Amino acid sequence: MTEQLRLMAVHAHPDDESSKGAATMAKYVSEGVDVLVATCTGGERGSILNPKLQGDPYIEENIHEVRAKEMDEAREILGVKQEWLGFVDSGLPEGDPLPPLPEGCFALQDVEAAAEPLVRLIRSFKPQVITTYDENGGYPHPDHIMTHKITMVAFEAAGDPEKYPEAGEPWQPQKLYYNQGFNRARTVALHEALLARGLDSPYEEWLERWKTFNRPERTLTTYVPCADFFEIRDKALIAHRTQIDPDGGWFRVPMDVQREVWPTEEYELAKSLVDTSLPEDDLFAGIRNN
């Protein structure tokens, strides 16, 4: 295939692109693929999760601007393009019963209407491949679930000239994937490898929580080899300083163990308009040779 390859990753908040599929994106950028991150919200209601920055009045009062600057830095590290869809973070409701979502937030938008800016971006960027979250959002954050919903609508509508006629010339993406990097097989493999080496594992609590999940394991269809880009992934994630503690559990697995034990990032092929054979090792399988 001589046409420029293009990948779009649709995410809910700034930092999601660096924790889900970041090494994959960096790998494709290194190969000359044009990669665009579509960020649905500004992360305005995200908590400050880095204990070193909690209580900083400037950050608390200017969280939207701070997170936008973090996104700028992460984008540069990954080498990707990035666009904001302009929705307002819904926050993660907590309590029993759960409180109502804030008025005007992303998760309360009409799905068909909220898909319009994504359709417009797809028609402008013309990706052959799109990645996003599954119907559970990867985890049940209302913005992640809404991101899934608008991406499914936009994938189908972008190529239909009768849908969103004011949003540009139709363009039909060929494949849609769900990020499944936080899968049980990977977690178990890394956990057991750490214990076998006499090292502490940060995954023990994760595996205990997994036992309480009342849902089937997802189907992993695509394993993208990207171990050479794990360090870039981590640098991009650390750029989101308000959201990640550089001394936290995310970074406790030695890089050599990660590369040896689990050198891929995983995806679930949700829709494909091209022929491909599973399992895959390339998001563009079936496209490169057409």
Is 240 labelled as part of a ligand binding site?
no
Non-local CB neighbours of 259 within 8 Å, separated by 6+ positions: 227, 230
Task: Write the CA distances from 223 to 144, 189, 245, 279, 283, integer angstroms.
Answer: 22, 15, 28, 7, 9
119 conformational bin, left if phi > 0, alpha if psi -120 to 50, beta if neither = alpha
Distance between CA atoms of residues 66 and 172, nearest Å: 35
Angle at alpha carbon of residue 58, lines to 104 and 239, rounded to 5°: 85
46 conformational bin, left if phi > 0, alpha if psi -120 to 50, beta if neither = beta
Task: Give the H or E element holding residue 216.
Answer: none
Is 191 labelled as part of a ligand binding site?
no
Is 141 labelled as part of a ligand binding site?
no
Binding residues for Zn(2+), by number, are 13, 16, 144
Binding residues, by number, are 13, 16, 144
